[in-house]
Structure 1
Amino acid sequence: MKRISVDIGGTFTDCFFVWDDQYIEAKALTTHHNLALGFNEALDLACKRAELDRGTVLAEVDSVRYATTLGTNALIERKGPMVAAIVTHGFEDTIPLSRGRGYGEGLDSSMQQNLPAAERPDPLVPRRLIRSVKERVNSAGKVVARLDPQDVRNVVRELVDAGAEALVVSLTNATENPEHELQIQEIVLEEFPLHELGAIPILLGHQVSGRKGEYVRATSTIVDAFLHEIMFHALSQLSNNLRDYGYEKPMLVVHNSGGMAQMNSTDALQTIHSGPIAGVGAAEHLSNETGLGHVISTDMGGTSFDIGLVPEGGVKHYDFLPTIDRWLVSVPMVHLDTLGAGGGSIASYDRIHDAIKIGPESAGSNPGPACYDRGGLRATVTDADLLLGYLDPDNYANGYIKLNPKRSVFAIEETLCDELDSDVLDIAKEIKRGVDEQMAIGIGKELRVRGYLPEDFTMLAYGGNGPLHACGIAKHAGIKRVLAPPFSSVFSALGAGNMRQLHFHERGAHVVLYNATSRALYDSYGEFNEIVAELEALGREDLVRQGFAAEDVQYRLELDMRYGNQLLTQAVTLDINRINGVGDVLHVIKTFGEVYSHRFGASCAAPEAGIRVGTVRVASYVEGDVVRFESLEYGGPRCIPVAVGRRAAHFVDTDGAVDTPVYDQHALTHAHVIPGPAIVTTENTTFLVEPGWRLEPTSQGAVWFLQD
């Protein structure tokens, strides 16, 4: 296996390079103005370590995979084209009304309850750029009112004259019959051919989401259109860079569904959060191979802290109506909880609570934390870590960044000391305590809301800052076992390398498996199987177009189910792909009952109210080679290694400086145990062993943090 996997984050570009039996990790600063430059720097470092040149590598690798947060950042910063929307006549206000809940989606529960201060997000499509056309398709897909082509031409010309740079078409019931959306597309292309200047991208709602729900389908398509241009240019820039250096295969892009595809089979919407989700995929793979049991994955980078849940057995949780930024969308996405708490998160003074507030604003990579000495003037988590003695100023990020402690002192004094009437070190401790508590609260909430206890989970701490804050987070969260996984600083990039080619296709359906009124079981097997076969055909077509043999494609059937008229819908993964009799219907009902009872309790199941299916979904995928993890257990004798130095460090619950031994990466072998307090500095990350903890390394660079 020869493979390059890249995770382009807000601060660092991580590279995981596989060359036969060699596994190599490398990092470089993200170059936002041209992502290819940061990629080239990280790849060159990996090639240097493998003693290979870039041209040889790109000519022989079997694939190059990208995961990126570029779309996430563009959405947050509202960097996108002017998007216009065409809807069915009478539905012009569906998008602005946003189901009456637009003020709260994307906010935490406390903010959602603060109605007097509620603010809707600035719309991606202003009301003046929403137009309607006279047409109607009913819920069964029958055309009730035909589309008038001249009406469409007038509307399109009005929108272009008003400044539209991208066009969204989302018509009522188009998932049942897309005839009118396709007809509008033809008319737009007649008016503005793709080969002429002035052509604008046009996105159709039924192609972005096959699920019913007019508002969420419209917002999904709008977000996709908003990100289309920036993602196209950025990924094309990366693709062209590969071409320039001799890579002739299609570039692969990681999706937030937990799979990946070529660029020609990727929507911009599918790239949102793809980097952190690749890390959740790596956690799932690690759990399956080593028998870790329940795992909570935590990725602490320079900009954010991402939490993913992998219960025992390696089954990820999915969101089928996720909120991206402030917008509810209907794209299947691996569940992820993101907090604005990373190494670059800015610490500011909260006047209301007379305390320090951490994030969500981040210094990013440019200018970065104050200690980067690149013009940053505000204190960050990294500045606090440096002043507390955890970081080596001369050996940060493999020596690529020289840290300046004087800048950190200046930033804290200027922004926080006077407000809090405390000295610099006390404030640095409060920043450390605050960010650890904030992340621990996020973990506890994520677990308890799904019926789990933190003490039953192993916490995976990865990302550039994960091992640095692992002990503090685990202590506040009540977690006893923490693992810095193999290649922890580039674990999400490793996950991108393990992804398989996968596509989701779904369709809204009204299937009553058990009718409570007539007490009858579903018996229209042919109708149901026809829907499944259509979705399988779409997935097979996607994968065959990307060069796979049709016979290699595998399928997984999933249903969104509910009891009676309950609003709560539960996604259920089945071990069968067809329903061919009463036995199969009862098997589906039993599987739903088991999943529902496990999540909410057996007493909550209500089959007597009826059992309904709202969405049929098929995952089509092809298995591939993956990175193999070695055992995480070691039962042999251990000894304390010889320290390479000592440093004065300050710990949150300890008064004064502590003379702390410092080790290098040679100490991280399975023959060693490192009692806290201690600091281990490696090329790509720092392991902080707080008092009361010990470090037990295993193979492949995996490291256990265990409480004494």
Structure 2
Amino acid sequence: MKRVSVDIGGTFTDCFVAWENRYVESKALTTHHNLALGFNEALKNACAELQLDERQLLSQVDSVRYATTLGTNALIERKGPRLGLLTTAGFRSSVPLARAKGYGVGLPHKQQMDVPNAQRPDPIVPIPMILDVRERVDYDGDVVLGLDEDDLRDKMRQLVDKGAEVICVVFANSVVNPVHELRVREIFLEEYPGHLLGAVPILLSHQVAGRKGEYVRAMSTIMDGFLHQVMYHGLGTLELNLRGAGYDKPMLVNHNSGGMAQLNSTDALQTVHSGPVSGIAASEHLALQAELGNIVATDMGGTSFDIGIVVEGGVKHYDFNPVIERWMVSVPMVHLVTLGAGGGSICRYDRMFKTIQVGPESAGSDPGPACYDRGGMNPTVTDADLLLGYLDPKNYANGYIPLNPRRAKQAYEDLCDELDMELVEVAKLVKQTVDTNMANGIARELRTRGYEPHNFTTLAYGGNGPLHACGIARALGVKTILAPPFASVFSACGAGNMSQLHIHEMSTWTTLFDANQRRFFTDYPRFNRIVEELERRGREDLVRQGFADDEIGYRLELDMRYGNQRVETAVVTDLNRVSSPEDVLKLIEQFHTRYGERFGKGSQTPEAGVRINTIRVCSFVQHPGITFKGIKPNGHALPAPAPVGERVCHFVGHDQGITTPIYDEAALAAGTTIDGPAIVVTRATTYLIEPGWRYQAAAQNAVWFTQIN
């Protein structure tokens, strides 16, 4: 297998190259103005280790896979085209009202509670650019009011005259019957053909999101339209860069659904948060192959700290109405919690509590932490780690970024004055605060879902994960934590392990058991027609990308609920068709079991009736991936190699600095055991073994940290 996988983060661009039996990891600073430059630098570093030139490598790999933050950055900076929205008459205020919750969505709980100071985010579509059209389809797909085509042409003309660069069409209940949305596209192309108006995209909501919920479906379509140009130009530039370097195969883009596809089969909305989701995918593969059971995946990079959960058996948690930036959308996305706790997180004085506040703002890659000596003036977590002695100023990121301790000290001067504390004590407070914040985030995420941290194996990866692993574990109250193989570029590694996958879904009103009439579902042909249609869409996506029918697999998922409960539970079933009462009973039993697992045995209420609200089909093609093996300690401890140096480090809970031995990559040999305090510095990352902790290296550079007192 020869493959290049890339995770373009807010601070670093991570590159993972699988070259036959060799695995190479490398990093470069992310170049936000042109992502290709950062990718080229990271690939160049990897090629140097393989003793190949870039053209030689790219001409032989089977694929290049990208996970990117393009969409996230565009939303934050509001860089996008002017949008126009056409909606059903009477629904013009749905988007501005935002279900009356728009002021708080996407904000921390503390800010959501501060209603008097609440401010809605700047709208992606200005209110004057939202126009309604006379038409109406009811909940069952019947046309109540036909499309007024004269009214439609007038509204189109108004939007074009106002400078709309993208047209979004969101009609009520179009997911059940899209006839009017499809007719809008026909009329738009009649009125404004490409040679007259230029390439103005028109997006139909039923093709972007297949579930009911007018507001979230509208926001999905709006955000997809807003990100379209940024993604097209940004990823298009990356693809042209590959073409120029000798790569002649389609470029693959990772999706936040846990799959990937070619660029021409990727919606812009699917790329948001695709980098962290790739790390969760890698965690899933690791857990299955190494038999780790339940795991919580934590990715501490330069900008953020991302948390994901995979329970035993490889079952991931999905968000079906995730919040992206400040808006709720309607696309299936692997569940992810993001905290502002990366290496570049900026530290401030909290005047109310007279202590340190870490994040959520980040120094990013430009200018970066003050110690990068690139113009950054704010104190960050990385500056604190340097001041505490954990980082080598001359050998950070394999010497790629020389660090300036004097700049770090200057950045912390104001904090020292405000706290009236010595520099080292402030740095230790920052370390303790950020570790506690991350541990609290993990505990809150697990316990709100009914889990306990001690029943999970915690993975600490990302550029800063191994550096803070012991601190996170101590604050979390667990005695073992794992830095997985290729920890510093683990998300990039996960990008290389994903399968090509497309998810299609459709809202439905299917009652499996009618409690009022005591009747079971019998309209099997209607249910099967929906499944067949969703399979057809997925098959077309994958066939268009060059796969044969017999290579494609399908997975059926159903969103089910008891009676009129608002809570829906996703059920994965091995049934692809329903043809008998036994099949219906099997679906009900699977839902009954899944509901009990989620909410507790005995909480099921089948007497209220059982309904299916959404039918979802995942169409996929499996690809060979990285094999994880020998991750658990083998019980054969090797003595630590000779240290390559030592320096004084400062640790939380210790008043005085401690002379700490420094080890190099020789300490990654499987079986190597080191008791803290100690530091292991590799080309990719730094492993910090705090006092009272033991370091045990396993295969593929995996490292276990175990508390010994």
TM-score band by shorter chain is over 0.9
Corresponding residue for residue 337 of structure 1: 337
Corresponding residue for residue 421 of structure 2: 422
- Deviation for aligned residue 1:33: 1.0
Matched, 1:653 2:676: no
Corresponding residue for residue 485 of structure 1: 484
CA distance in 2 between counterparts of 1:528 and 1:193 reads 38
CA distance in 1 between counterparts of 2:602 and 2:80 reads 48
CA distance in 2 between counterparts of 1:599 and 1:47 reads 47
Superposition map of 1:446-485 within 5 A: 446-485=445-484
**Letter aligned with residue 79 of structure 1:** K
Q: Please give the per-residue CA displacement for 1:575-598, whole angstroms capped at 9, x wherever unaligned.
A: 221112111111111111111111
Q: Please give the per-residue CA displacement for 1:312-351, whole angstroms capped at 9, x wherever unaligned.
A: 1111111111111111111000000011110000001121
**Letter aligned with residue 476 of structure 2:** A
Superposition map of 1:185-334 within 5 A: 185-196=185-196, 198-334=198-334
Corresponding residue for residue 569 of structure 2: 570
CA distance in 2 between counterparts of 1:124 and 1:401 reads 38
CA distance in 2 between counterparts of 1:199 and 1:314 reads 43
Superposition map of 1:595-614 within 5 A: 595-614=594-613
**What's the secondary structure of 1:460's corresponding residue?**
strand
Distance 1:545 1:282, change over 3 A: same
Q: Please give the per-residue CA displacement for 1:12-67, whole angstroms capped at 9, x wherever unaligned.
A: 11111111111111111111111111111111111111111111111111111000
CA distance in 1 between counterparts of 2:173 and 2:672 reads 64
CA distance in 1 between counterparts of 2:45 and 2:640 reads 32
Corresponding residue for residue 514 of structure 2: 515
Corresponding residue for residue 35 of structure 1: 35
Q: Please give the per-residue CA displacement for 1:606-626, whole angstroms capped at 9, x wherever unaligned.
A: 111111110000000011111
**Letter aligned with residue 535 of structure 2:** E
Superposition map of 1:61-100 within 5 A: 61-100=61-100
CA distance in 1 between counterparts of 2:379 and 2:6 reads 29
Superposition map of 1:540-551 within 5 A: 540-551=539-550
Stretch deviating more after TM superposition (93-102 or 628-637): 628-637
Corresponding residue for residue 533 of structure 1: 532
CA distance in 2 between counterparts of 1:482 and 1:265 reads 38
CA distance in 1 between counterparts of 2:154 and 2:526 reads 40
**What's the secondary structure of 1:541's corresponding residue?**
helix
Give RMSD over aligned pairs.
1.2
CA distance in 2 between counterparts of 1:194 and 1:287 reads 50
Report if the CA contact (8 A) 2:346-2:378 is conserved.
yes
CA distance in 1 between counterparts of 2:353 and 2:145 reads 59
Matched, 1:688 2:695: no
Corresponding residue for residue 379 of structure 2: 379
- Deviation for aligned residue 1:198: 4.5
Corresponding residue for residue 589 of structure 1: 588
Structure 1: runs of 5+ lacking an equivalent? none
**What's the secondary structure of 2:602's corresponding residue?**
helix
Corresponding residue for residue 131 of structure 1: 131
CA distance in 2 between counterparts of 1:479 and 1:357 reads 24
Report if the CA contact (8 A) 1:385-1:432 is conserved.
yes
Q: Please give the per-residue CA displacement for 1:182-238, whole angstroms capped at 9, x wherever unaligned.
A: 222223233333345654222110110111111111011011111111111000000
Report if the CA contact (8 A) 1:641-1:673 is conserved.
no
Stretch deviating more after TM superposition (458-467 or 55-64): 55-64
Corresponding residue for residue 109 of structure 1: 109
Matched, 1:642 2:642: yes
Matched, 1:665 2:677: no
**What's the secondary structure of 2:292's corresponding residue?**
coil
- Deviation for aligned residue 1:645: 0.7
CA distance in 2 between counterparts of 1:339 and 1:2 reads 34
Report if the CA contact (8 A) 1:386-1:392 is conserved.
yes
Report if the CA contact (8 A) 1:457-1:479 is conserved.
no
CA distance in 2 between counterparts of 1:664 and 1:446 reads 35
Report if the CA contact (8 A) 1:280-1:309 is conserved.
yes
**What's the secondary structure of 1:434's corresponding residue?**
helix
Stretch deviating more after TM superposition (188-197 or 282-291): 188-197
Stretch deviating more after TM superposition (418-427 or 340-349): 418-427
Q: Please give the per-residue CA displacement for 1:368-394, whole angstroms capped at 9, x wherever unaligned.
A: 000000100000000000000000000
Matched, 1:391 2:391: yes
Report if the CA contact (8 A) 1:299-1:461 is conserved.
yes
Matched, 1:148 2:144: no
**Letter aligned with residue 584 of structure 1:** D
CA distance in 1 between counterparts of 2:153 and 2:426 reads 63
CA distance in 1 between counterparts of 2:656 and 2:63 reads 52
CA distance in 1 between counterparts of 2:163 and 2:420 reads 52
CA distance in 2 between counterparts of 1:448 and 1:606 reads 24
CA distance in 1 between counterparts of 2:148 and 2:311 reads 53
Corresponding residue for residue 437 of structure 1: 436
- Deviation for aligned residue 1:86: 0.7
Stretch deviating more after TM superposition (197-206 or 674-683): 197-206
Report if the CA contact (8 A) 1:458-1:479 is conserved.
no
- Deviation for aligned residue 1:144: 2.5
Superposition map of 1:54-65 within 5 A: 54-65=54-65
- Deviation for aligned residue 1:83: 1.6
Report if the CA contact (8 A) 2:635-2:671 is conserved.
no
Residue-pair matches, total: 707
TM-score when normalising by structure 1 = 0.98
- Deviation for aligned residue 1:116: 2.2
- Deviation for aligned residue 1:266: 0.5
Q: Please give the per-residue CA displacement for 1:643-693, whole angstroms capped at 9, x wherever unaligned.
A: 111110000111011111111111111232010111111111110111111
Report if the CA contact (8 A) 1:640-1:673 is conserved.
yes
**Letter aligned with residue 541 of structure 1:** E
Stretch deviating more after TM superposition (628-637 or 35-44): 628-637
**What's the secondary structure of 2:671's corresponding residue?**
coil
**Letter aligned with residue 45 of structure 1:** N
- Deviation for aligned residue 1:110: 3.1
CA distance in 1 between counterparts of 2:197 and 2:47 reads 42
Identity over aligned residues, as a percent? 60
CA distance in 2 between counterparts of 1:619 and 1:305 reads 29
- Deviation for aligned residue 1:476: 0.7
CA distance in 1 between counterparts of 2:90 and 2:410 reads 59
Superposition map of 1:15-34 within 5 A: 15-34=15-34
Distance 1:325 1:681, change over 3 A: same
Corresponding residue for residue 500 of structure 1: 499
CA distance in 2 between counterparts of 1:183 and 1:637 reads 70
TM-score when normalising by structure 2 = 0.98
- Deviation for aligned residue 1:281: 0.2
- Deviation for aligned residue 1:104: 2.0
CA distance in 2 between counterparts of 1:42 and 1:196 reads 43
- Deviation for aligned residue 1:165: 2.2
CA distance in 1 between counterparts of 2:369 and 2:484 reads 26
The ranges of structure 1 where at least 4 consecutive aligned residues each deviate by more than 6 angstroms after the TM superposition are: none
Report if the CA contact (8 A) 1:219-1:328 is conserved.
yes
Stretch deviating more after TM superposition (642-651 or 573-582): 573-582
CA distance in 2 between counterparts of 1:169 and 1:479 reads 50
Stretch deviating more after TM superposition (612-621 or 97-106): 97-106
Corresponding residue for residue 347 of structure 1: 347
Report if the CA contact (8 A) 2:136-2:172 is conserved.
yes
Report if the CA contact (8 A) 1:254-1:271 is conserved.
yes
